[in-house]
């Protein structure tokens, strides 16, 4: 029986329960989970801010989680090229991307390659943005 390879990406800054939930849910739907960690440079380019936790430390944190089989650097946004590199069978994304023009097109391309796109709801109570905001309030008080 073929092993199912899953792939997801993220910044994983200020690691919290929402991150853990996504990784656990992803691993429950594949045999091997590859996680792309967004580099500091790409994060700056995309979000115009540098993560609080360095790239190397974020990689170490995510690598230490037992449901994660492999950590790779995400230094560009090109999911089709990532598929060429990692040959995944399933890609996991947040539900906020579902129905977007980009992901509607990617779903079609991935379907041709036999790749399933699976969307997960975020943990509503926690986000890195919320954690960062609380930390900024506490340090400025």
Which pTM does this prediction carry? Answer: 0.88
**Domains assigned to the chain:** 5-140 (3.40.50.620)
Q: Active-site residue 27, yes or no? A: no
Provide the pLDDT for residue 128. 56
Say whether pLDDT at 2 is over 70: yes
Kindly name the residue from 45, 49, 108, 113 that is annotated as catalytic: 49
Kindly name the residue from 47, 102, 108, 113 that is annotated as catalytic: 47
**DSSP string covering the chain, please?**
-PPPEEEEEE---S--HHHHHHHHHHHTT-SEEEEEEEPHHHHHHHHSS--SS-HHHHHHHHHTSTT--EEEEE-S--HHHHHHHH--SEEEEEGGGTT-HHHHHHHHHHHHTTPEEEEE---TT--HHHHHHHHHHHHH-
Q: Active-site residue 113, yes or no? A: no
Question: What are 46-105's pLDDT values in tens digits?
Answer: 999 999 999 999 999 999 999 999 999 999 999 999 999 999 999 999 888 899 999 999
């Amino acid at each position: 029986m073929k092993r199912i390879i899953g792939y997801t990406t993220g910044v994983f800054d200020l690691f919290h329960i929402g991150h853990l939930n996504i990784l656990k849910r992803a691993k429950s739907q594949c045999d091997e989970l590859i996680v792309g960690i967004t580099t500091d440079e790409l994060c700056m380019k995309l979000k115009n801010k540098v993560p609080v936790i360095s790239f190397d430390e974020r990689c170490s944190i995510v690598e230490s989680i037992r449901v994660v089989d492999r950590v790779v650097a995400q230094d560009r946004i090109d999911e089709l090229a990532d598929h060429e590199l990692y040959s995944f069978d399933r890609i996991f994304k947040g539900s906020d991307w579902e129905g977007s023009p980009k992901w509607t097109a990617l779903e079609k391309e991935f379907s041709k390659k036999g790749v399933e796109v699976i969307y997960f709801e975020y943990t509503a109570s926690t986000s890195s943005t919320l954690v960062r905001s609380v930390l900024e309030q506490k340090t400025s008080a």
